[in-house]
Amino acid sequence: MKQVYRACKKCHLITTEKNCPIHGEEKTSTEWFGFVIVTEPKLSIIAERAGITEPGAYAIKVRQ
């Protein structure tokens, strides 16, 4: 079975789950574009601007 990557509509975290592992209730979307990998959120300007506090892969755009 092909694995589909999804992105949380709230924090943009990329996951294979239908619900965000951080937000739980928040549904993830299969319609997202581009991504950034954040390893050290405290040192990343992109992470700061996007409000990312946890390391991981994040979609740049998620269709709501």
Residue from 8, 14, 38, 47 in contact with Zn ion (CB under 5 A): 8
Q: Is 7 in the site for Zn ion (CB under 5 A)?
A: no
Q: How far is CA 28 from CA 32, 33, 40, 54, in A?
A: 10, 13, 23, 17
> In a 10 Å sphere around its CB, with 0-12 CB exposed, 13-18 middle and 19+ buried, how is residue 43 labelled?
exposed
User: Which of the residues 24 through 63 are near Zn ion (CB under 5 A)?
Assistant: 26
CB of 35 to Zn ion, least distance (A): 14
CB of 22 to Zn ion, least distance (A): 5
